[in-house]
Structure 1
Amino acid sequence: MNAVLPKVSSPKQVSGFSVEPFTDNARLQIVTLQCDVMQKFSELANEWPLQALEYKPFLRFAIADMLDELTANTLGEVLNTIMRNRDTGAFLLRYDMSANELDKQQRTELDIKLSTAVSHLIGVPNHDSMYGKFYARFTVENTDTSDSYLRQAHRRMELHNDGTYVNERTDFVLMQKLDEANMQGGDSLLLHVDEWQELDKFYRHPMAKQEILWGAPKSKNVSGKIQHPVFFEEDTQGKPHMLFIDQFAEPQNMAQGRYLYEMGASLEADPNFIRVPLPVGSMLVIQNHCWLHGRDKFVAHPELKRELLRQRGHFYL
């Protein structure tokens, strides 16, 4: 890999957390909040019940500001440096805290508050129509009857970008594990666009800038369809941003169908993807247009269960 480490520069010394590159790919940064920061955050966050954060959007910014202050106002700067740098554009945030200090419900509420603080340090989450809030919670179990691969445990969910079927800009995706039981497998899968071996083949293809129709299954609670190319824009360096998911593309002719099929096959065959285990409470945050993400399959178990949280939105201007 030729990944470049982020320039984690700050006018102040970084305080209350550490940053280190992921072992298998230095683009992904591991951010670990120290125990004292999390304990103080937990205490202060009790001021606002979760429902208050759901009903009052300005409180989401307040809790983000509170977390930043606990790190001497260095966490937000570091996270934005990581996310705005194409050579990185992703971090896994975890924390040190005794699992015995809170019961299950308290821990879940704390994790949701933490993900809310983190997302609002880098941008503004979009309304998630599937769940009806600024975040979505959903479970993966051993059996599934849903209309998309999101909840299907025993197959690999292919590499994709989020936000293909909505009008809101989706610069970032936050994925947090809230709980799990009887789980084996199911690691997150990531592939940076610049490490996709056949990027040039598909980016230079005549279909690369052609409008494609995108829709969504009923479970997403999004009516209507939109059109946009897979390579819908270039960044400030002139490098491509992607919006692709194989499940929701609706090709209108043979040329579109062949292009999308071959692209999906190429992404799934690429060897440069990485597997990222996600401990309960931790969250993976990616620049949605530079990283494709998916999920490995789980080992079957009759009582398999995982609860996940998702936030996705746009960066601050």
Structure 2
Amino acid sequence: MINPDTITRFEGFSVHNHPRNVRVQVVTLDKSALERFQAASQEWSVQALEYKPFNRFALANELDRACQFQLGSFLRNTVNDRKTGAFLLEPEASVQALFTDTEEQRDEFVKLSTAISHLIGLPNFDAMYGKYYARFTVRNEDDSDSYLRQAHRRMELHNDGTYVNERTDFVLMMKMDEKNMEGGDSLLLHIDDWQDLGKFYNHSLARENIRWSSPPSKNIGYTVDHPIFFEQDADGKPHMLFIDQFAQPRNMEQGLYLYEMGKSLEADTNCSNIRVNVGSMLVVQNHCWLHGRDKFVAHPGLKRELLRQRGHFSR
């Protein structure tokens, strides 16, 4: 990893460590690179990206070209390196100041997030939204059947992909818009920084199958069974799949194991609050990072629109 005080410059972007967690690489796209990408991306509408999957790879190639083909390799190396495994990608400040609250601007965000996801892998179909990405809004009041849209409580640390039968190597979370927001930062905890990892990884239930299901809003009509520590990486370190909301313990022993795990994760002092601005995105290696969201301060006009992509690394 680079020194926290060092900015490394590439063609079209720069990189430094996040001040709150040096594992997270902050990737800032230059205004000139974004302008080159936006000019090239006019060839494709969002509908053209949704209808023809190969267009998404051509779009990603144009973003990489705008950075002299240095961006894709850097992002892939970052998410595949366990020591980092996460990046916050943002436009330079002069670009952020020009963002508008329009559907055209949101289309540009869809294009940028699509290019990033296809530089590192392939997004899975998101059954909740019915596309390769999902867009959803958090408001001051909500009656949804999961914590995803509930603003006034902390969404606990978890991995994505626990209740589906497809691999979820990465999660991309982009902020499309927000109004009257206070709080609601992203929460991140790297597995290797979890102080109680040894306690739970060496437990007798660590590799026992647990059943996982999801509420109706997820549009998944099946359950899956897998352990929380479901595999090891090439260096023998654990990969993890855990979410407290959707675990279905079969007995007291499983239930208490999950309960104590949830308590431990939420109490861990190595958890980092990461602010994501409009037009920026946080991308994490899903099996070695747990993520969540802090609660919002109540406001009648509270609104946050998010875009999510989840998928697997290119093989």
Q: Does 1:294 align with 2:292?
A: yes
The answer to whether the 8 Å contact 1:6/1:88 transfers is no
Aligned pairs (5 A) from 1:154-303: 154-303=152-301
2:141 is aligned to: 143
Aligned pairs (5 A) from 1:91-110: 91-96=87-92, 97=95, 99-100=97-98, 104-110=102-108
Q: Distance in 2 between matches of 1:28 and 1:14?
A: 17
How many residue pairs get aligned? The number is 308
Q: CA deviation at 1:98?
A: 5.6
2:113 is aligned to: 115
The answer to whether the 8 Å contact 2:162/2:241 transfers is yes
Secondary structure of the structure 1 residue equivalent to 2:173 = strand
Q: Does 1:35 align with 2:31?
A: yes
Superposed CA RMSD in Å reads: 1.3
1:129 is aligned to: 127
Q: CA deviation at 1:28?
A: 0.3
Secondary structure of the structure 1 residue equivalent to 2:105 = helix
1:69 is aligned to: 65
* 1:27 partner letter: R
Secondary structure of the structure 2 residue equivalent to 1:246 = coil
Q: CA deviation at 1:180?
A: 0.5
* Aligned with 1:26 (options 5, 15, 22): 22
The answer to whether the 8 Å contact 1:6/1:87 transfers is no
Q: Distance in 2 between matches of 1:268 and 1:292?
A: 11
Q: CA deviation at 1:40?
A: 1.6
Q: CA deviation at 1:6?
A: 6.3
The answer to whether the 8 Å contact 2:96/2:278 transfers is no
Task: Report the more deviating stretch, 213-222 or 90-99.
Answer: 90-99
The answer to whether the 8 Å contact 2:191/2:289 transfers is yes
The answer to whether the 8 Å contact 2:186/2:276 transfers is yes
Runs of 4+ in 1 over 3 A off after TM superposition: 98-103
Q: Distance in 2 between matches of 1:103 and 1:247?
A: 33
Task: Report the more deviating stretch, 119-128 or 89-98.
Answer: 89-98
Q: Distance in 1 between matches of 2:229 and 2:96?
A: 45
Secondary structure of the structure 1 residue equivalent to 2:208 = coil
* Aligned with 1:81 (options 77, 83, 106): 77
Q: Distance in 1 between matches of 2:20 and 2:118?
A: 28
Q: Does 1:45 align with 2:41?
A: yes
* 1:236 partner letter: A
Q: Distance in 2 between matches of 1:240 and 1:100?
A: 43
| Structure 2 gap segments, 5+ residues each | 4-8
Q: Distance in 2 between matches of 1:208 and 1:290?
A: 15
Secondary structure of the structure 1 residue equivalent to 2:248 = coil
* 2:252 partner letter: M
| Structure 1 gap segments, 5+ residues each | 8-12
Q: Distance in 2 between matches of 1:193 and 1:100?
A: 37
Q: After superposition, what is the alpha-carbon deviation per residue over 1:43-96, rounded to whole angstroms, capped at 9, x for unaligned?
A: 221111111000100000000001001111000000011001000000000012
Secondary structure of the structure 2 residue equivalent to 1:124 = strand
Q: After superposition, what is the alpha-carbon deviation per residue over 1:260-310, rounded to whole angstroms, capped at 9, x for unaligned?
A: 000000000000000000000100000000000000000000010000000
* 1:45 partner letter: S
Secondary structure of the structure 1 residue equivalent to 2:10 = coil
TM, length-normalised to structure 1: 0.95
The answer to whether the 8 Å contact 1:76/1:122 transfers is yes
Q: CA deviation at 1:99?
A: 3.9
